[in-house]
């Protein structure tokens, strides 16, 4: 057991109590194609408190995106429930903003106009929205790039525009689905720092899906480990280490070892 540092890193097997903002209970989902049924999610339960940064890690293709699509209301679940502030809701749409690995910037809109897409759709006045976005350009390291088109920006910058659009939706819940998965290692590590900065400034609750154990450890308050398909929660880990964290610190190494152990079965090469 690598957990001699109890108190700094404890692991949770149970959900939080009543102070949770989002509570997911026993969420299951199967897809059927013809006579075949493919169980994708099996009784997923997790919770997130207000302002918490929650990471969900698991092998690629385990159904993390399906889970997010259910939370976003793009898919419906077969069974289980989602609660918001203790009240059951069909999905979190309207309360959450969503960001994916693909930046999904509109090529005909410049940085500012891409960033205000959410506000614009919510009916905010375009000029006022632009003013607010312009004030935030510095925060997102995009000063001087407000009138550039996405094609003229680097991958990291494009992702920051997407992050800015997500933040400017002004929702208290952010679902981030492998937001930095398509970036190179150096850009990704810079983006993780941006995310922490922005999180500190706007204090949303964040659900972050990633398959990068280091990323989860560097960012999250609590980490849930998912099994491969059908996905269920195998365990969770409360990471109570001060930020900024360094992946090489002994505490972090311990946490990582624990997570990798949990993931080990999932990462095994299947027998032929």
Partner 1 sequence: MKTRFVNTALPVALLGILGLSWEASVHFFKIPSYILPGPWKIVRVMWQRMDLLAAHAVVTLTEIGLGFWLALVVGLTLAVLIHSSRIIERSFLPLIISSQTIPVFAIAPLLILWFGYGIGSKVVMTAIIVFFPIVINTVEGLKAADPDTLALLKILEASPGQVFFKVRVPQSLPFVFSGIKIGVAVSVIGAVIGEWVGAREGLGYLMIHANAQLQVELVFASIFWLSILGMGLYGLVVVLERLLVPWRHGESNK
Residue 230: cis peptide before it, omega within 30 degrees of 0: yes
Residue 127 in the binding site for partner 1 (CB under 8 A): no
Count of chain residues binding partner 1 (CB under 8 A): 23
Residue 98 in the binding site for partner 1 (CB under 8 A): yes
Kindly give, in sequence order, each residue whose CB lies less than 8 Å from that of residue 65, ignoring residues fewer than 6 positions away.
177, 209
Residue 94 in the binding site for partner 1 (CB under 8 A): yes
Tell me the closest approach of the beta carbon of residue 109 to partner 1, in angstroms. Answer: 8
Cβ-based nearer residue to partner 1, 93 or 193:
93
Residue 108 in the binding site for partner 1 (CB under 8 A): yes
Q: Give the integer Cα–Cα distance in Å for 61 and 158.
A: 25
Tell me the closest approach of the beta carbon of residue 164 to partner 1, in angstroms. Answer: 14
End-to-end Cα spacing for the chain: 32
Taking CB under 8 A as the binding criterion, the range among 102-110, 213-221, 226-234, 253-261 that sits at the site for partner 1 is: 102-110
β-pair partners for 24: 46, 82
Tell me the closest approach of the beta carbon of residue 187 to partner 1, in angstroms. Answer: 19
For 199, counting Cβ atoms within 10 Å of its Cβ (0-12 exposed, 13-18 middle, 19+ buried), the class is buried
Residue 102 in the binding site for partner 1 (CB under 8 A): yes
Q: Are 82 and 90 in contact (CB under 8 A)?
A: yes
Backbone φ and ψ for 108, nearest 5 degrees, come out as -95, 5
Residue 182 in the binding site for partner 1 (CB under 8 A): no
Residue 74 in the binding site for partner 1 (CB under 8 A): yes
Which among 142, 144, 184, 147 is positioned nearest to 162, based on CA atoms? 142
Residue 244: cis peptide before it, omega within 30 degrees of 0: yes
Residue 199 in the binding site for partner 1 (CB under 8 A): no
Q: Give the integer Cα–Cα distance in Å for 255 and 128.
A: 45
Cβ-based nearer residue to partner 1, 35 or 151:
151
Q: Which two tokens stand for residue 242?
A: 């001060």
Residue 169 in the binding site for partner 1 (CB under 8 A): yes
Tell me the closest approach of the beta carbon of residue 57 to partner 1, in angstroms. Answer: 23
Tell me the closest approach of the beta carbon of residue 66 to partner 1, in angstroms. Answer: 13
Tell me the closest approach of the beta carbon of residue 141 to partner 1, in angstroms. Answer: 21
Q: Which two tokens stand for residue 73?
A: 């209301």
Q: By the criterion CB under 8 A, which residues form the site for partner 1?
A: 72-74, 93-94, 96-98, 100, 102, 104, 106-108, 117-118, 120-122, 149, 151-152, 169
């Amino acid at each position: 057991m690598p957990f001699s540092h109890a108190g700094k890193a404890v692991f949770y097997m149970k959900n939080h109590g009543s102070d949770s903002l989002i509570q997911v209970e026993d969420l299951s989902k199967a897809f059927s194609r013809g006579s075949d049924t493919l169980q994708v999610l099996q009784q997923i339960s997790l919770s997130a408190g207000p302002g918490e940064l929650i990471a969900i890690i698991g092998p690629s293709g385990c159904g993390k995106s399906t889970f997010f699509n259910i939370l976003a209301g793009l898919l419906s679940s077969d069974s289980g429930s989602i609660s918001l502030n203790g009240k059951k809701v069909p999905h979190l749409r309207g309360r959450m903003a969503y960001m994916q690995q693909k930046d999904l910037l509109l090529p005909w809109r410049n940085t500012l106009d891409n960033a205000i897409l959410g506000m614009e759709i919510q009916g905010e006045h375009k000029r006022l929205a632009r003013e607010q976005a312009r004030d935030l350009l510095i925060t997102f390291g995009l000063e001087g790039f407000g009138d550039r088109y996405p094609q003229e920006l680097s991958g990291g910058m494009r992702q920051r525009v997407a992050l800015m659009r997500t933040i400017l939706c002004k929702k208290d819940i952010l679902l981030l689905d492998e937001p930095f998965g398509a970036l190179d290692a150096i850009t990704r590590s810079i983006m993780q720092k941006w995310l922490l900065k922005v999180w500190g400034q706007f204090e949303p609750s964040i659900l972050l899906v990633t398959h990068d154990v280091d990323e989860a450890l560097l960012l999250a308050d609590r980490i849930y480990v998912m099994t491969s398909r059908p996905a269920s929660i195998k365990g969770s880990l409360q990471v109570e280490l001060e930020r900024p964290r360094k992946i090489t610190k002994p505490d972090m190494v311990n946490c990582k070892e624990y997570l990798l152990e949990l993931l080990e079965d999932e990462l095994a090469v299947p027998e032929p």
